């Protein structure tokens, strides 16, 4: 492969990644992979994180894909995005549509058991303890209500 040839799209884990970006930036295009996780994946695959993804050879891209698939087994439990799965009970790291579907299932489970967070999700209010007096207003609830003098 020539130095000037570049693959504009690299497919890893059912996601098209931008081949013009560096490996550490391009890997963050996969849902469930942030900057720290992408750096760990590139170091485990023995790939330069600053190299352009589209200029890598097929062997390096294959190593990256393999490390992404085996990520849960190769890192400690505190480094995964789901340290204790509710149903399986083990530590897992979810990527792509698996992460989106699991997050949706978690919200539905909270709604079903009528937890505080589930009720807040249902009513469309802030869930994580933020202030709601002045922010997060929707509809016609804007402005300050004054007493008539």
CATH number for the domain spanning 65: value is 1.10.8.50
Q: Do 99 and 73 reside in the same domain of the chain?
A: no
Q: Are residues 22 and 53 in the same domain?
A: yes
Lookup: tokens for 110? 């909270």
Which pair of tokens denotes residue 113?
């058991």
Cα dist. 32→4, 6, 110, 121 in Å?
Answer: 31, 26, 22, 22
State residue 4's pLDDT score.
Answer: 67
Q: Is residue 61 located within the same domain as residue 113?
A: no
Residue 32 lies in a domain: yes
10 within 8 A of 19, measured Cβ to Cβ: yes
Per-residue pLDDT tens over the stretch 6-57: 999 999 999 999 999 999 999 999 999 999 999 999 999 999 999 999 999 9
| Residue 37 within any structural domain of the chain | yes
Residue ranges making up the domain that contains 42? 9-77
The span from the CA of 93 to the CA of 37, in Å, is 10
Specify whether 100 is located in the same domain as 54: no
121 has a pLDDT exceeding 60: yes
Q: How far apart are CA 93 and CA 95, in angstroms?
A: 7
Identify the band that residue 139 occupies on the pLDDT scale cut at 50, 70 and 90.
confident
* Distance, CA of 99 to CA of 115 (rounded, Å): 22
The confidence score (pLDDT) of residue 141 equals 62
* Mean pLDDT computed over 115-137: 92
Give the Cα separation of 31 and 48 in Å (integer). 21
Q: Is the pTM of this model over 0.85?
A: no
Q: Are residues 16 and 73 in the same domain?
A: yes
Domains: count for the chain: 2
Residues 37 and 72 placed together within one structural domain of the fold:
yes
60 and 117 in a common domain: no
């Amino acid at each position: 492969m020539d130095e000037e040839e570049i693959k504009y799209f690299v497919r890893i884990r059912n996601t098209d990644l931008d081949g013009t970006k560096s490996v550490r930036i391009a890997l963050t295009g996969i849902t469930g992979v942030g900057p720290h996780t992408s750096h760990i994946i590139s170091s485990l695959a023995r790939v330069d994180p600053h190299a352009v993804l589209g200029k890598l050879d097929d062997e390096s891209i294959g190593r990256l894909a393999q490390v992404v698939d085996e990520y849960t087994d190769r890192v400690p439990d505190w480094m995964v995005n789901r340290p204790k799965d509710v149903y399986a009970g083990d530590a897992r790291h979810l990527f792509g549509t698996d992460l989106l579907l699991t997050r949706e299932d978690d919200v539905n489970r909270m709604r079903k058991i009528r937890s505080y967070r589930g009720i807040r999700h249902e009513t469309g209010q802030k869930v994580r303890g933020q202030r709601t007096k002045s922010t997060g207003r929707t509809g016609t609830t804007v402005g300050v209500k004054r007493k008539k003098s």
